[in-house]
Amino acid sequence: MTITISNLKKTYDNGHQALKDISIDIADGDLVCLLGPSGCGKSTTLNLIAGLLDPTGGDISIDGESVIHRHPKDRNIGMVFQNYALYPHMTVLENVTFPLRVGAHRKSRAEAEAIAKQYMAVTNIEDLADKKPNDISGGQQQRVAITRAMVQKPKMLLLDEPLSNLDARLRLRIRAEIRRLVKEMHITTIFVTHDQEEALSISDRIVLMNEGVVQQYDVPQQLYLDPANLFVATFMGNPIINIIDMAYNPDSKMLTSPAFDIPLAALDASRFRNPAAGGRLNRESYQVGIRPEHFLVDASEPGIDAAQGSLVGGGAALGGARRAVFEARIESVEMIGRYSVLHFDVDGVHARSIVDARAAIRAGQLVPFNIDYPNIYLFQHDGTRVY
């Protein structure tokens, strides 16, 4: 099923404008995440699609037909919420068959159980059929809730932070299972989360929202590699991108800061957002975005153990002949598994770089850095990306 959201607006009764003007096209069978900070309008969007709220303006169509005047029950949508209220006095099998036993399409017990068991085989909960919800784990309860939504053969599945009550390890497993299930059953799915890692791992496409506005709607890797604006660049990525204010000097064609300069000639001309500008910059200052992996420890400098300080990313390409761009005193080294995060100060701004966890770099050490120039980003002060 395709879903088309056009110019959707929602202002709550208290005057709060939760959705400003949202347009999203979701392709048949896609798994799309609504991602963004708390309060950005994710749940509002989901509830409007489900029909639990009325929009202030705009339209929602499913397979080309407007549904905004349809009752939630007639939208053919399955929903799973954060608190996936299973009926505690019913067994798992009774919980799953329940939606088939009520309403207009009421089925006999035998018929309903036959259907339920087919789905329970897919979600791997057949063995739990006779258990009560309180006697199974959180992850199993979540699978029961999803199975219960699926037996109704919804055209679309809406999941609102369905994993937020689960522990970290279980979240990883269940989210992979959800993806497998909805793909196998070819159900168009919208999944709300505020967790970028969850969105990146599960989605075909991500809608990144902020303050009721879609900031970027794209495939996961593009949000990271090709952010539409400063908000997207800052939201996506862990550790977060470094943002440094730099002045532009049109005479020397350099972006300058007290810590280091960036020659415009070192950038990749094809990556300027406005080709007409021909790689020229016409403002006095920019916010320069440098991902932690693009601050490269210069392993060619004396005192840095090249073997152990093997770098993440294109370090080798920049090592060797060229001198380091700047030096920084490392404030702390944070281990995050395979990588370590180096924390240091650049011109009064807290900056981060990532290196291989085996790098022999300690707090207090003065470390020479290079910058992977072509991979930086330039933003105007209003957040518009120019490079």
Pairing of strands 188-193, 205-210: unpaired
Residue closer to ligand ADP, measured from CB, 38 or 270: 38
For residue 31, the one-letter residue type is: L
Residue closer to ligand ADP, measured from CB, 12 or 87: 12
Q: How far is CA 43 from the centre of its chain?
A: 15
Report how far residue 56's alpha carbon sits from residue 22's, in angstroms, rounded to the nearest whole number. 12
Which DSSP symbol is given to 162? Answer: T
Residue closer to ligand ADP, measured from CB, 41 or 99: 41
Residue closer to ligand ADP, measured from CB, 37 or 348: 37
Angle at 21 between CA 19 and CA 22, to 5 degrees: 85
- Give the count of residues interacting with ligand ADP (CB under 6 A): 12
Q: Which stretch binds ligand ADP (CB under 6 A): 38-46, 136-144, 249-257, 351-359?
A: 38-46
Q: Which stretch binds ligand ADP (CB under 6 A): 41-49, 70-78, 251-259, 333-341?
A: 41-49
Which of 16, 322, 329, 338 forms a contact with ligand ADP (CB under 6 A)?
16
Residue closer to ligand ADP, measured from CB, 18 or 328: 18
- Site membership for ligand ADP, residue 139 (CB under 6 A): no
Is the Cα torsion angle 349, 230, 296, 218 positive or negative in sign?
positive
- Site membership for ligand ADP, residue 12 (CB under 6 A): yes
Contact present, 358 and 306 (Cβ < 8 Å): no
Contact present, 343 and 354 (Cβ < 8 Å): no
State the virtual CA torsion across 306, 312, 316, 317 in degrees, nearest 10.
-160
- Site membership for ligand ADP, residue 18 (CB under 6 A): yes
Q: How far is CA 33 from the centre of its chain?
A: 7
Count Cβ atoms below 10 Å from residue 179 Cβ, excluding itself.
17
Residue closer to ligand ADP, measured from CB, 33 or 116: 33
Which of 1, 22, 24, 43 forms a contact with ligand ADP (CB under 6 A)?
43
Residue closer to ligand ADP, measured from CB, 44 or 97: 44
Q: How far is the CB of 83 from ligand ADP (least distance, A)?
A: 14
- Site membership for ligand ADP, residue 82 (CB under 6 A): no
Residue closer to ligand ADP, measured from CB, 149 or 208: 208
Q: Which stretch binds ligand ADP (CB under 6 A): 22-30, 34-42, 290-298, 317-325?
A: 34-42
Q: How far is the CB of 73 from ligand ADP (least distance, A)?
A: 22
Bridge partners, 224 (sequence order): none
Closest CA to 162 of 39, 74, 34: 34
- Site membership for ligand ADP, residue 42 (CB under 6 A): yes
Q: How far is the CB of 172 from ligand ADP (least distance, A)?
A: 23
Cis bond before residue 239 (omega within 30° of 0) = yes
- Site membership for ligand ADP, residue 44 (CB under 6 A): yes
- Site membership for ligand ADP, residue 41 (CB under 6 A): yes
Contact present, 120 and 129 (Cβ < 8 Å): yes
**Helix 138-150 and helix 168-184: axis angle, to 10°?**
20
| Cα-based distances in Å from 7 to 13, 26, 133, 233, 352 | 19, 14, 41, 25, 39
Q: How far is the CB of 14 from ligand ADP (least distance, A)?
A: 5
- Site membership for ligand ADP, residue 52 (CB under 6 A): no
Token readout for 341 is 């995060």
Which of 39, 58, 237, 374 forms a contact with ligand ADP (CB under 6 A)?
39
Q: Order of strands across the sheet with 326-335?
A: 295-297, 366-371, 326-335, 339-346, 349-356
- Site membership for ligand ADP, residue 14 (CB under 6 A): yes
Which residues bind to ligand ADP, rule: CB under 6 A? 12, 14, 16, 18, 36, 38-44
